[in-house]
Structure 1
Amino acid sequence: MKNIFKSALVATSLVMSLMACAEPSASPVKDKIESTLGLQVSSVADSPVPGLVQVMTDRGMFYASKDGTYFLQARIFNLDEEMRNETEEALGAIRLEGLQQFQDSAVVFKAEDEKYVVNVFTDITCGYCRKFHREIANYNDRGITVRYLAFPRAGLNSKPYNDMVSVWCAEDPLEAMTAAKADEEIASASCKNSVAQQYQFGQRVGVTGTPNIILPDGTLIPGYQPADQLEQALKQVM
């Protein structure tokens, strides 16, 4: 099966379409979803299916009928294009666009001979996140730079969230991340940070647990990946 993502130009076009102001006819859809379901709608755009619009919310992507009567949680596949996952393609473009806001606020373990860059949603209390981090040297040795984004699974009013703020605000965030994932106590710290925004962004683009890895083409891989498997996945998309 061909790669589900098109060229960067097509991805950019998708993002522009999704982020553009909704047409007047889409406003009732936004209003109805927000008032009925309590979701925050950031954009309403055309979908690949006639009669449906694509709705981006604070809890992910959904579809709705143009009159707002029907609301769907679904994946759209294009049978004429080798079962291309249209939903994942659109989300991939949104992920890449959204990552730009965290360009300078990730905790980065940089490969000396960098070949690839991945963004990894992580939680310092997650067992598989800790396993991933114990092998961070293996990823770096394969030329994989790891950019950690925060996804405290217990939510924003939790101890893991506060501890992750302390990691991001530590004098040495890399050292603090390693200590926290080794279950060591870290000094409490506070500063201007984007931990909450990273968590909320993850929820919007399909992250439901940790670790979740975003590849350079916007693909989201859920769960732990050994270094060799992650390298193979990167070779396929680069």
Structure 2
Amino acid sequence: MLKHKIFQKLTSLLTFGALVLSASALAQTAIDVKSKSFTDSLGQKLQLRIDAVADSPVPGLVQLYTDRGLFYASDDGKHFLQARVYNVENSIVDVTENALKDMRVSGMEKFADSAIVFKAKNEKHVINVFTDATCGYCRKLHNEMDQLNDLGITVRYLAFPRAGVGSSVYKDAVSIWCAKDPQDAITRAKAGETVASAHCENQVAEQYNFGKQIGVNGTPNIVFPDGSVIPGYQPAKMLADALAQAAG
């Protein structure tokens, strides 16, 4: 009888631990950590769309994955924080940045088929770059595409029209992504040429909105395979060195 009770207790603890790890690590959109009424009420008050909730490493706080980034709230919903959380127990670890890295990596997978890809022949690394064809430093980076590819770096472009959805820059981005040859279209656009108007089903708005979710506020914004970010232009050789260092 005693063994049976101990077994039941261990089973309950293991089950609970698995649920917590699953919610925290995956931030599942089912929103099981808190009731839907909690997220609906908080989202309405803050004018945010809360996509997922997960346990925070700080007792009493939960992580909110929203359409405008990663935030925190007290578990009673009375307090809201825009903050960075650091674990200083053994060394200084940016917990918020690690959560954002996971968010970036998992989110990029949604756009695997809608990115404009310049693939390296002997691929060593893949970077995702939020870009705007009118951005001067985006053009500078694009001018080094042959160097990047020769260094084994595949570039996957995601649209980030800085003026927002519905702007002329956004419409140009749609035309680029809907062109018969998007690679040629984006190359011409970044050379200052006019791209012929085109329409199709596209994910330009979704890519832009995802960029805002993960903290993109300028271009180029370069996302490494581990989810870390370089917010601006870097020469091809420096990028290659940084990627090799990040890969260990």
For normalisation by structure 2, the TM-score amounts to 0.87
Structure 1 residues 185 and 15: alpha-carbon distance in aligned structure 2, compared to 1, 3 A threshold? farther
- CA offset digits 1:174-210 (Å, max 9, x no partner): 1100110111111100111111111111111121111
1:116 is aligned to 125
- CA offset digits 1:76-117 (Å, max 9, x no partner): 111124211111111111111111111111101111111110
Indicate which of 26, 46, 52 corresponds to 2:55.
Answer: 46
- CA offset digits 1:200-221 (Å, max 9, x no partner): 1111112111111110111122
Structure 1 residues 81 and 111: alpha-carbon distance in aligned structure 2, compared to 1, 3 A threshold? farther
Task: Supply the distance in 1 between the matched residues of 2:145 and 2:190 (Cα, whole angstroms).
Answer: 12
- Residues 54-63 or 108-117, more deviating: 108-117
Moved over 3 A (4+): 12-17, 23-29
Indicate which of 90, 95, 102 corresponds to 1:93.
Answer: 102
Matched, 1:173 2:179: no
Contact 2:126 2:156 in 1 (8 A): yes
**CA positional deviation for 1:25:** 3.9
What are the within-5 Å matches in structure 2 for residues 177-216 of structure 1? 177-216=186-225
Structure 1 residues 25 and 115: alpha-carbon distance in aligned structure 2, compared to 1, 3 A threshold? closer
Matched, 1:35 2:31: no
**CA positional deviation for 1:129:** 0.7
For normalisation by structure 1, the TM-score amounts to 0.90
Question: What is the SS of the residue equivalent to 2:175?
Answer: helix
Structure ID, larger Rg: 2
**CA positional deviation for 1:75:** 0.8
Could you tell me which runs of 5 or more consecutive residues in structure 1 were left unpaired when the two chains were aligned: 1-11
Give me the CA root mean square deviation. Answer: 1.7
Question: What is the SS of the residue equivalent to 2:202?
Answer: coil
Matched, 1:144 2:153: yes
Task: Supply the distance in 2 between the matched residues of 1:98 and 1:15 (Cα, whole angstroms).
Answer: 16
- CA offset digits 1:11-45 (Å, max 9, x no partner): x9677531253236454541233211211000111
Question: What is the SS of the residue equivalent to 2:51?
Answer: strand
1:164 is aligned to 173
1:21 is aligned to 30
Identity over aligned residues, as a percent? 55
Could you tell me which runs of 5 or more consecutive residues in structure 2 were left unpaired when the two chains were aligned: 1-20
